[in-house]
């Protein structure tokens, strides 16, 4: 995750804080975009993971996935979200850029969205917490297991869930 810009000589990797996973109360089958450095401070409860050297955009995905993709570039998240939506089973953590075109393209496809209360303070590769970032995040859920996990997180005080309900023609 790259919501912040790295200082010269520092990593621009940022890890999802453990309280997010504590609130979700799930274990993922696969983390599709895990960093290769600072791994001692990762808190993703997952059975397997892919790093940049395995290229999660093209490597096979299966099961219930966690995706906290690289946040680089204006539309850098788009290929990751396209792959995530195609997979259809997991939770993605992305910037909550609700005015961005890609947000309007992908959010309506979700089964549920969770907007965490306040701004999520991510963990640096050295284990320290970042300051309040410029943007909030949204957890995008696909599939029934994701919906249940996001509802757990809401019950546990992480934030507010909105569910996308397909309307039937009258």
The pTM of this model reads 0.88
Q: What is the pLDDT of residue 18?
A: 93
In terms of Cβ atoms closer than 10 Å to its own Cβ (0-12, 13-18, 19+), residue 32 is buried
DSSP state of 82: H
Q: What is the CA radius of gyration of the chain?
A: 15
Instruction: Name the residue among 97, 89, 92, 95 with its Cα closest to residue 80.
Output: 92
pLDDT above 70 (res 119): yes
Residue 142 CA to residue 90 CA, distance in Å, equals 5
Q: What local confidence, expressed as pLDDT, does residue 146 receive?
A: 97
Please tell me the predicted confidence (pLDDT) of residue 141: 98
pLDDT band at 8 (very low <50, low <70, confident <90, very high): very low
Average the pLDDT over 138-164 and give the result: 96
Residue 105: which H helix or E strand, with range?
helix 101-106
And the tokens for 2?
């790259």
Q: Tell me, what's the pLDDT at 4?
A: 36
Does an H or E element contain 8, and which? none
Does position 9 have pLDDT exceeding 60, yes or no? no
Burial of 70 (0-12, 13-18, 19+ CB in 10 A): middle
Contact 122, 129 (CB under 8 A): yes
User: Which of 108, 99, 91 has its CA nearest to residue 158?
Assistant: 91
| 65: pLDDT strictly greater than 80 | yes
Does residue 7 have a pLDDT over 50? no
Place of tokens 């039937």: 168
Average pLDDT over residues 159-164: 90
pLDDT at 73: 67
pLDDT digits (tens, 9 = 90+) for 77-94: 999 999 999 999 999 999
């Amino acid at each position: 995750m790259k919501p912040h810009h790295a200082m010269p000589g520092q990593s621009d990797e940022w890890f999802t804080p453990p309280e997010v996973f504590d609130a979700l109360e799930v274990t993922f089958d696969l983390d599709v975009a895990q960093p290769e450095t600072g791994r001692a401070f990762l808190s993703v409860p997952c059975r397997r993971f892919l790093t940049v050297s395995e290229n999660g955009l093209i490597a096979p995905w299966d099961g219930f996935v966690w995706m906290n993709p690289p946040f680089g570039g204006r539309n850098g998240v788009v290929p990751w979200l396209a792959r995530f939506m195609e997979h259809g089973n997991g939770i993605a953590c992305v910037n909550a850029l609700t005015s961005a075109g890609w947000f309007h393209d992908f959010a309506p496809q979700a089964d549920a969205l969770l907007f965490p209360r306040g701004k999520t303070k991510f963990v640096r590769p050295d284990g320290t917490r970042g300051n309040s970032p410029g943007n909030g995040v949204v957890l995008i859920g696909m599939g029934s297991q994701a919906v249940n996990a996001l509802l757990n997180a809401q019950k546990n005080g992480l934030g507010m869930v909105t569910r996308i309900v397909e309307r039937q023609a009258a």
